[in-house]
Structure 1
């Protein structure tokens, strides 16, 4: 019974800490850089059939 109570309290504290914003004030994400449009291919491709 003691282990069950300790487990319930542990999960309760974890839920409380994760819900109360313990990591501080929310921050704005950095704006994403503009991506290039179109298709760009780099490298080398080889394919074939052998019998």
Structure 2
């Protein structure tokens, strides 16, 4: 238990060692045709 504060301190000091965070580039929309929706096949009757 007496090493827990030391381990916590080492873990916190390791944060950000590789530099400031870099925001990822947004994904570019893929070119092409997109089809979405649903289809139904069957018999419809009304009484």
TM-score by length of 2: 0.42
Rg larger in 1 or in 2?
2
TM-score, normalised by the number of residues in structure 1: 0.41
